[in-house]
Amino acid sequence: MKPPARRCNIFIASSSEALPIAQAVKQHFDQEWDVDIWKENIFNPNWNYLETLLNRASYYDYCIAICAADDAARIREETVKVTRDNVVFEFGLFLGRIGPNRTFLIVDEEVKLFSDWDGIEVAKYRAGSDLVSAVRTACDSIRKEINVAEKLPHFTMLPSTSLAIGYCNNFLRRVFEAFEFSETYSIVKRNDRGDIIEETSHRIVDRQPQIHVLLPRHLQDLQPEWLKQRTSAYRQIAVTTRYREFPFYIGEGPTPDVGEIRLFDIPTTLLSSKIAIERVFDAEFLALEDTAQHLESREIANFERTIRLMMPDKFEREYLKLSVLE
């Protein structure tokens, strides 16, 4: 079964005065994605604002900052309209955490933007009585950018994308290369102590083996005690080629003929994501409802997406299958 699709989430930053604009922006996105405005139970009692923002900046997939005409400022002998300074701060925080292709501005056309943004195209709106219509063009342009970003690898403070690159380059591609340039391979079975109890040699007939990558539903499924339960229907083997030995699983029962063998692998390297989540985020933040599960789901989804992007379509269609570890 193919891993389930995941809804990305968006954080909207604005001043208190610009909340109606933030709510109008939300209406353009909340049918497709999960959208939270800063006012919606983001800042909890007794929690430090900066600490909350630091956690949230690594939690959300995208950020939209509303630069409304909140204040007047005197800049070089000229009075101009500017946005509230906390909005600029939050925009910069998310920009640094999740990157420029995932952090967006929607700017009132009367606002003087900060000079670092001179020459950069931004989505603008003209305030009016119908705010949903006023921000429609800006939201449509941001939607296009999000759709592009969803097709690209995403590097964050968490390691899933880097783990997937290493998994593709150092394992999957090495397996395909080994089968392409080897004449024979061996299937090695070991006991719990690691001793070889059986070894059979096979001639390579099909130069492109079929590999099934089983992704976990939850990262804890990769912990040794859980993994043993999840893989009870498989046997562990090692496929030895002229280059190196590759660990795999095969189904229970008699060893199939070489032309029928299906190799299964579980990317236990993803367990590093669970460890990173526990280190990056505060325990109190992770204890919030669904927070930890959301982060784990995002790591698994990023890992899967990066593999699909790195492997040629031919391999994914014919030789590489990604499904869920049941």
Mean pLDDT calculated for residue range 21-45: 91
Domain annotation covers residue 303 = yes
Assigned token pair, 325 = 């570890």
CATH number (domain holding residue 104)? 3.40.50.10140
How deeply is 262 buried, as exposed, middle or buried, from its count of CB atoms within 10 A (0-12, 13-18, 19+)? middle
Are residues 142 and 179 located together in one domain of the fold?
Answer: no
Model confidence at 256, pLDDT cuts 50, 70, 90, reads: very low
Domain containing 257: what range?
A: 160-324
Pick the most confident of 1-15, 94-108, 186-200.
94-108
Are residues 185 and 311 located together in one domain of the fold?
Answer: yes
Are residues 167 and 316 located together in one domain of the fold?
Answer: yes
Tokens 């391999």 belong to which residue? Answer: 315
Q: How many other CB atoms sit within 10 Å of the CB of residue 158?
A: 23
Indicate if the pLDDT at residue 257 is higher than 70.
no
Provide the domain count of the chain: 2
Are residues 201 and 106 located together in one domain of the fold?
Answer: no
Share of the chain above pLDDT 90, in %: 49
Are residues 93 and 203 located together in one domain of the fold?
Answer: no
Indicate if the pLDDT at residue 251 is higher than 80.
no
Residues 262, 266, 267, 270, Cα dihedral to 10°: 160
Q: Which of 114, 149, 184 is the last residue of a domain?
A: 149
Q: pTM for the whole thing?
A: 0.83
d(CA 197, CA 94): 54
| CA 145 to chain centroid | 16
Question: CA angle, corner 273, sides to 272 and 275, nearest 5?
Answer: 65
Indicate if the pLDDT at residue 180 is higher than 90.
no
pLDDT tens digits, 110-161: 998 888 887 888 999 998 889 999 999 999 999 999 999 988 888 888 999 9
Domain annotation covers residue 155 = no
Phi, psi dihedrals of residue 216, rounded to the nearest 5°: -75, 150
d(CA 151, CA 309): 8
Are residues 200 and 145 located together in one domain of the fold?
Answer: no
d(CA 101, CA 62): 9
Are residues 36 and 165 located together in one domain of the fold?
Answer: no
Mean pLDDT calculated for residue range 285-307: 92
More confident residue, 3 or 72: 72
